[in-house]
Amino acid sequence: MPERRTVALVTLGCARNEVDSEELAGRLEADGWQLVEDAAEADVAVVNTCGFVEAAKKDSVDALLEANDLKDHGRTQAVVAVGCMAERYGKELAEALPEADGVLGFDDYADISDRLQTILSGGIHASHTPRDRRKLLPISPAERQESAAAVALPGHGPADLPQGVAPASGPRAPLRRRLDGSPVASVKLASGCDRRCSFCAIPSFRGSFISRRPSDVLNETRWLAEEGVKEIMLVSENNTSYGKDLGDIRLLESLLPELAEVDGIERVRVSYLQPAEMRPGLIDVLTSTPKVVPYFDLSFQHSAPDVLRAMRRFGDTDRFLELLDTIRSKAPEAGVRSNFIVGFPGESEADLAELERFLNGARLDAIGVFGYSDEEGTEAATYENKLDEDVVAERLARVSRLAEELVSQRAEERLGETVRVLVESVDEEEGVYGRAAHQAPETDGQVLLTSGEGLSVGRMVEAKVVGTEGVDLVAEPLTGSLACSEEAGR
C-alpha cells in the first residue's frame, strides 16, 4: 500500500486566515492527505500568507524561504504559497520568489488536493493574474447571495465533507479540520468589505461583503462544540454589516442568542466592529446576552475629524467617547480594544494631540498602534502631503508609549474585579494561563492564575484580580470555583 502524502499548513496573519487554513486542511484530509504539524515532516509545506501591511508581507516571505530550506534537510519536496499575499500578487510573487513551487489563489482552494499533487509530481500550475475581487459580485448587496456559488469564498465551505467523513451522529461536519487543541476557535461570519478606507487594500483581494447563512454559522458552531471548543470568536472584515445582503441588517442581534445556546459553548465573542455602524440594538445584545461577552473590538483608526475624512471614515473624539460611555453604562466591565494609524498623510500636531485626547479618555483595554506606510493600490498612496519617515517613526514611538501606559492603567482599574477565566495553558513551571471576557486570543493580554490545582485546558474558573503585569492580570481562583469548573467541564 503506497505511503500517504503528507502536508503541513503554516498560517500567518489574522484569525480569518486560521479559519481558511482549517478549511484547506479539511479538504486535504478528505482527499487522503495526512496532516502533520512539522513542515520538515511533510511532503508539501503550504504557507498561508498575509498581505495586509509590509511587515506581514515580509513575515510571509521569510516563512516561505524558511520552508524552502527544508527541501535540503528534511522530507519536504515542495513549498506552496496560498492566502492573501498569494491572491494579491499572484504571478508577480511567483516571479519574485522562485523558491515557492506554487502560488495559488482563492480560486484554487476547491481543487487544492489536485493542485498540490500536480506540484508534487513536478508539474506546474500557472499562478493566477490578480484581479479586483470586488467586481466578482453584484454592486447591490441584495443580489449577491444568488451569485455567491460562482465565487471562491474561503471559510464559507459547504456544510458537509464527502460521504463517510461526517460523524455518525451529531451536527454535520463542516468543511474544516481543527489544527490544534485550543478551547477557542474562530468562525467566519462573512467575507469581504464594502467600505472604501483610503489606506486599505483588503477589499480589492478579499472582495465585496457577503454574509454566511445563519444556519451554516450555527452548524459549524455545534460541530466545534463537539470538538471540545468552549469559546467561539466571530470573524470577518466587518461584522457590523452582517445580514445586509440577506435582507436583515439586524441579523447579528438574533443570531448571537442562538449561538450562545449551543450546548458546550461557554463564551461567544464578536470581533471587527465598525464604530460608524454600531446600533443600539447590537450594543444591547452584546451587553445583556448570557454567554455573549461584552467585548467591543472597535476599528477607530484615529479620532481627529480631518484625518478620519482623509481616511474615508466617520466620527470624531467626542462621538467615539459617547459610544464608549453608552457601552459602559450598560456593562461597566466591558472590554474595548482598537487599532490606530499615526503619521497619516496630512496629520498635523493638532490632529495627533486630538488622538491623544481620545486615548486618554477612552480607557481602552488593548491598543494597537501602527505607523502609516503606503499600500500599493490604495487611494492614500496617491496623496501628496506625506510626512517624513522620521516624523512618522517619532509619532509612532510617542503614541505607543502612551498606549502602553494607558492599557497598564486600565488593567489596574480591574484590581478587585471578579473575572471568569477560560484556561488555555497549564504548565508546571510556567503556571496556569487563561483569558477573561475582556481579552480576545493573542491580542489583548492574558490572566495568570495563582493556583491551578484541579484545572485543565478548557475549564472556566471564577477568579479575583489581585495584580497586574502591564496589560496582563494576575488572579486568584475563588473558593468553590474550581469545583464549579470541574462540574461544568463534565
Residues annotated within a binding site:
14, 50, 84, 193, 197, 200
Contact 253, 215 (CB under 8 A): no
Find all residues with CB under 8 Å of 170, minimum gap 6, and list them: 222, 223, 226
Taking the C-alpha atoms of residue 247 and residue 345, their distance in angstroms, rounded to an integer, is 38
Annotated binding site for [4Fe-4S] cluster: 14, 50, 84, 193, 197, 200
- Amino acid present at 76: T
Find cell 471614515 and name the residue.
Answer: 313
Taking the C-alpha atoms of residue 413 and residue 362, their distance in angstroms, rounded to an integer, is 13
Contact 304, 345 (CB under 8 A): no
| 3-state helix/strand/coil string of 240-285 | HHCCHHHCCCCHHHHHHHHHHCCCCCCEEEECCECHHHCCHHHHHH
What separation in angstroms does the CA of 313 have from each of 70, 308, 345, 468, 480? 45, 5, 14, 35, 48
What is the CA angle 127-133-136, rounded to 5? 115
Taking the C-alpha atoms of residue 423 and residue 231, their distance in angstroms, rounded to an integer, is 11
Kindly state the helix (H) or strand (E) to which residue 95 belongs, with its residue range.
helix 91-96
Strand, helix or coil at 362?
Answer: helix
Find all residues with CB under 8 Å of 29, minimum gap 6, and list them: 35, 165, 177
Contact 11, 60 (CB under 8 A): no
| Backbone φ and ψ of 407, nearest 5° | -70, -30
